Every structure is written in structure tokens, then in C-alpha cells.
Structure 1
């Protein structure tokens, strides 16, 4: 691996760059909280060659949202389910918007209203 390869990963939201301790510190929570949301299958951290949990920036954003809900009194299992559903909704909206753009583009073989 070259230095350029390593620096390129800094922009990758899915690169597991953060240890459990650092992730907990960044989120202002405990390592136990991260283990709990892992057990609830909200996020699945990757493992280092030594077996240590490693988190990506994307996973930290998901964990931060779950923490907000838990801090507001939502049980952790419910918070995890809410975050999963919010994430799925966001993805569905992104896909729908992409389909709309494709259907409305001049290159589209069948513009809206024609068949």
C-alpha cells in the first residue's frame, strides 16, 4: 500500500478508521453503548486483524442518531429500529429522485406521458 492509497481512504465514509474507544469518545458515549447497538444489529463494525472493532464515519453517524433517540428516552431496541427505517427511507427517496431525473432527461427513450 502506498501513501497515496492511505490518503485516499480518508475521504471514504465506509473505511473503518476508528477504534471502539475513539468512536465512543467522539460520540460522547460508552463502549457498552456501541456494543449494544451492535447486538441490536444497527451497525456491524469491521474487525482489525487483532479482532478489535473498527468503525467508519458512516457507522458513527448512524450511532450518533441512535444516541440522540436514546437520550430522548427511546429504548435502545426501538431507537435502532427507527434509525434503520429512517436510513431505508432516505435510500428509497434517493433512488426515486434518481429515477425521476432519468425519466425526465432528454435522453430518456420514453418521456413522461408517452409510451
Structure 2
């Protein structure tokens, strides 16, 4: 069974309600809904159907808000962030695979 410290230390744990998430990000709840529509973040749904957000999702939402505040269209900001996230995952996988390669013994 997970301990509270384990749960709250997990960037993917859906700990934040929509209201609290909007407050943390500095955006409206409608903005968070639009990020869901654009498939940037897909919040966890509680048994009652309420959206719950993780710290990782809040970082993505904050990045989107910053870009929109700077004049980037929401759809473009979401696409850029998705591509940046995919690139980072690919780079991490590449580093991991390079570490696993056997060294040349010639």
C-alpha cells in the first residue's frame, strides 16, 4: 500500500482539483477544459466524475498559459508542447539505449 509521502512525491498522482489546479496555473477552469479538448492534458476523473490533475499536468498547463499569454494561439501552443514532450521522451530513450550498448572491444 502506498504511503502518503510516496503519493505526494509522485508527479503523476492526480492530487489537485480543477479549482486548485486553475489557481496554481493562474488560469481559468475553462482554460483547463480547453487544454483537455486539445488533448494536451487528460485529467483523471474521480468516481464522481470530477477532474483531478497531477503536478506534471500542471507544468504542461502553466507552459501553455505562458505561451498563450505571449500571443501563441492555444491550438499551436498545445501542439508545440506535445511535440516538445515527445522529443524529450525520445531523447531519454535514446540515452538509455546508448547506455545499454555493449562497448566495442577491438
What TM-score do the two structures reach when normalised by structure 2?
Answer: 0.92
Q: How does 1:1-115 map to 2 (within 5 A)?
A: 5-103=3-101, 108=102, 111-112=103-104
**Structure 2 residue ranges without an equivalent (≥5):** none
Moved over 3 A (4+): none
Q: Which has the larger radius of gyration?
A: 1
CA 102–32 in structure 1, closer or farther in 2 if over 3 Å, else same: same
Deviation at 1:7, TM superposition (A): 2.9
Q: Quote the RMSD (CA, aligned, Å).
A: 1.6
TM-score after normalising by structure 1: 0.85
In 1: Cα distance, 2:72 partner to 2:105 partner: 46
CA distance in 2, matches of 1:64, 1:39: 16
> Where do 5+ consecutive residues of structure 1 fail to align?
none
DSSP-derived class of the 1:42 partner: coil
How many residues of Structure 1 are paired with residues of Structure 2 in the alignment? 106
Does 1 or 2 have the higher relative contact order (CA < 8 Å, sep 6+)?
A: 2
